[in-house]
Amino acid sequence: MADTVAERGGGLFEAYKGYNPRVIFFYPVVLLLLAVLAGGLAYRQLLRTEIYAEREKVQNQRRILVPGPRGNIYDREGQLLVGNRPRFAVVLYLDELRSEFRREYLKIRGAYRESGDKDLPNATQMEQIARFTVVDRYLRVINKALGRTGEVDAPALTRHFRSQLLLPFTLLDDLEPAEYARLLEQLPVTSPLQVYTSSTRSYPFGAAAAHTLGSVKIDDIDVAEDFPGADLKTFKMKGTTGRDGLEAQYDSVLQGETGGTIYRVDPAGYRIEPPLARHVPVQGKNITTSLDIDLQLAAEARLLENEMAGTAIALDVHTGEVLTLANVPSYDLNETSPRISTAKFQEIEEQGGWLNRAIQGAYAPGSSFKILTALAGMRSGWVNPDSEVDCNGYYRVGNRLFPCHDGHAHGKIKLAEAIAKSCNVFFYKHGIETTPEVIATEARRFGFDQRTGVELPNETRRMLVPDPEWKKATGRGPWQPGDTANFSIGQGFLDVTPMQMATFTASFARGQTRTTPTLIYQPNRKPQRTEAIGLPAAQYDALVLGMEECVSMPGGTAYRTLTQMASMRIPGLRIAGKTGTAQKQTPAGIINFAWFICFAPVENPQIAIAVMVEGDTPGEETGGGRYAVPVAQAILKTWWQKQQRATGTPVATSAPAAVPTARD
């Protein structure tokens, strides 16, 4: 014992000498523990390598996605209606400025310490100050080079640095070509300042067909499921999606294919060149619309002359392809790209410019509906080509006198002349005889109670074909004979869209009942075949004759505009049309809707048109013959000139004195 104490007391460290068998007991335990550790290490390092490789990848790799440009939209002759224009911006790659940020930070910290300022910012604040200072320095150089006065948006810079470090920070946007060229030549290839190119929508024809083509809005980009790096932290550039019109309807077709780059980053999130993988963005598919931009421009120009809201639709009679879909007021699509200002949005809103009247407006069709009333009367046996009425300017229904067109007394008048001169009395009488149920059934046969199905979003459902049952069901009381009188001349409860009137006209011209309009051009599209109109040839011809005389016979409601005025004649083209002037009671008074439906050439119908112009002054006569017919004339004239050029026929430059009528 004493020896042991002596041994221990002699040194600073306690030592054990000799062999103790009890220690053997611990060897297996230690070995077992070591084996467990080695096994665990081997398990993680050899067997679970994929998991750690994946974790390392997720931690150290970043994915940057850029949108593919949208596809173009063309008219039927290949003219570009919607394309993409490059948008140049000068950007700063913040992740390349790491050392500059650090130097600036140290400089700022040193300056604060030297000054002995009590309100010393904390490290985060000083980092922000350093970043702002460096970025501002770069921006000032650009400002000097381009003569601009851009300023750094400090909150935007902070947000960008925190969440989008790998994406370039935009210093100046929408550079002019000269500015872009200047920077291109003066910026060193390796500078963190670079000219960045993106695409934005471009509309060569400005406001033309704005409601049909539609606009786009800035939105997140979609990524294909099989796009590599789905598990990586991803930075996305903004893309666009269709807001309305064809842009919205065919968004999935027009949308470009997203591209992207995968980078390795260091622990602070800064990019390490070169990229690990790169996928180039691909432009979306193009669309060729059925629109004819020449007809479209002609229609819009003439609609604008009216200085009233309105719409015009032209269809290919056989295929239903929409040749023109014009709306005023409209808006320049270029002002919506890449984004529309709030002030501009409000301005268009106040003008009612967002409304696509052709498919979203429901209006009483007025006398243009008389063709359907006559058709219903013929099919029910109440009307035939020789039906005659003695018009003394008014028609009594119960105790109420219903006036004829402009209060005129037409005297004894037959069907064709009643159509040509738009004699209300003729249609009051025969409409009441035909009954509202039959007229409504006939209207439904032509699809007036349904949407046309044109490939545009937000087509209204507010169209209405009334009948006694409907009136009773909606609590408006029993159907009165006066309701039938109004219904017969396209007034009262009846509401249709201008597009419906265009499809009705095309169907009628083809001798059928339905036309499905389409905005997509197909060179060899088959003619539409639907239920036949169901009239004997003589009866159908009488209706067409009335429509042709509306244009060509003195006293016809479109005669003065389309035939009497030499400048408005279209030599060689026989037109069948029907005007209409519907009235609507508003709080301010009665306003008119001017209508004109027509097709041409009479002998071989090719084009069908419907025009509607909204009167804007209560009490003012906004007649179809005066306001709607010139719009159709502008479309027909352009169309006829193109037809003649296509067939090699010399285009007539001066009109003959008179056009022979069908009766002549």
Partner 1 sequence: MVVIAWLLVPTAVKRFSRLTFFEVQAPLELAPSYVRDLQDYWSLRTRSQNDLIEAGRDLARLTASYELRVQENGELRAEVARLESLLSLPTFNSYRPEPARVVRRDFNGWWQRLVIRKGRNYNLTVGAPVIFSGGVVGRIAEVGAYTAVVEMITSPGMRLAASVEGDQRPISYQGGLNAAFAAPRGVVEFVPLDLFAAPNSPQKLVTSGLGGVFPPGLIIGQMVRLEPSTDGLFKSGEVQLDPRLSELAEVTVLVPLAPEIPPVGTPRP
Q: Closer to partner 1 at the Cβ: 199 or 581?
A: 199
Say whether residue 229 binds partner 1 (CB under 8 A). Answer: no
Say whether residue 180 binds partner 1 (CB under 8 A). Answer: yes
Say whether residue 566 binds partner 1 (CB under 8 A). Answer: no
Say whether residue 239 binds partner 1 (CB under 8 A). Answer: no
Alpha-carbon distance of 583 to 581, in angstroms, equals 7
Identify each DSSP E strand in 48-165 by its residue range: 61-66, 73-74, 80-92
288: nearest Cα among 525, 520, 523: 520
Please select the residue that binds partner 1; options are 108, 129, 141, 304, rule is CB under 8 A: 141
Q: Closer to partner 1 at the Cβ: 33 or 181?
A: 181
| Location of structure tokens 């519907």 | 582
The C-alpha angle 225, 229, 232, rounded to 5 degrees, equals: 120
Q: Closer to partner 1 at the Cβ: 78 or 267?
A: 78
Angle between helices 629-647 and 293-306 (to 10 degrees): 160
Please select the residue that binds partner 1; options are 45, 186, 341, 474, rule is CB under 8 A: 186
Instruction: Report the site for partner 1 in 280-309 (rule: CB under 8 A).
Output: 280-283
Q: Which two tokens stand for residue 16?
A: 């054990």
Say whether residue 238 binds partner 1 (CB under 8 A). Answer: no
Taking CA atoms, 645 is separated from 30, 76, 234, 301, 607, in Å, by: 101, 16, 56, 22, 16
Q: What is the largest CA-CA distance in the chain?
A: 152
Say whether residue 183 binds partner 1 (CB under 8 A). Answer: yes
- Give least dist CB 236 to partner 1, A: 17
- Give least dist CB 485 to partner 1, A: 59
- Give least dist CB 156 to partner 1, A: 20
User: What is the full DSSP assignment across 212-279?
Assistant: HH--EEEEPPP--TTSS-TTSEEEE--EEEE-SHHHHHTHHHHPPBPEEEEEEE-TTS-EEEEEEEEE
SS3 312: strand
Task: Let me know: does 449 contact 430? Beta carbons within 8 Å.
Answer: no
Task: Let me know: does 366 contact 429? Beta carbons within 8 Å.
Answer: no
289: nearest Cα among 255, 247, 329: 247
438: nearest Cα among 492, 497, 375, 499: 375
Please select the residue that binds partner 1; options are 17, 22, 144, 412, rule is CB under 8 A: 144
Stretch that binds partner 1, among 137-145, 224-232, 266-274, 376-384 (CB under 8 A): 137-145
Say whether residue 137 binds partner 1 (CB under 8 A). Answer: yes
Please select the residue that binds partner 1; options are 108, 145, 304, 652, rule is CB under 8 A: 145
Q: Closer to partner 1 at the Cβ: 282 or 566?
A: 282
- Give least dist CB 179 to partner 1, A: 9
- Give least dist CB 77 to partner 1, A: 18
Q: Closer to partner 1 at the Cβ: 107 or 396?
A: 107
What string marks each residue from 60 to 89 as x (binds partner 1 by CB under 8 A) or -? --------xx--x-----------x-x---
Instruction: Report the site for partner 1 in 87-126 (rule: CB under 8 A).
Output: 103-104, 107
- Give least dist CB 216 to partner 1, A: 16
Please select the residue that binds partner 1; options are 98, 109, 148, 182, rule is CB under 8 A: 182
Say whether residue 408 binds partner 1 (CB under 8 A). Answer: no
Alpha-carbon distance of 593 to 599, in angstroms, equals 20
Q: What are phi and psi of 459, to 5 degrees?
A: -70, 135
User: What is the full DSSP assignment across 281-310?
Assistant: -B----EEBS--HHHHHHHHHHHHHHTS-E
Q: How many residues bind partner 1 (CB under 8 A)?
A: 39
What string marks each residue from 253 to 282 as x (binds partner 1 by CB under 8 A) or -? ---x--x--------------------xxx
- Give least dist CB 143 to partner 1, A: 10
The three state secondary structure string of 25-45 is HHHHHHHHHHHHHHHHHHHHH
Stretch that binds partner 1, among 138-146, 308-316, 377-385, 564-572 (CB under 8 A): 138-146
Stretch that binds partner 1, among 139-147, 315-323, 367-375, 481-489 (CB under 8 A): 139-147
Q: Which two tokens stand for residue 88?
A: 């140049």
| Contacts to partner 1 by CB under 8 A | 68-69, 72, 84, 86, 103-104, 107, 137-138, 140-142, 144-145, 177-178, 180-193, 197, 199, 256, 259, 280-283
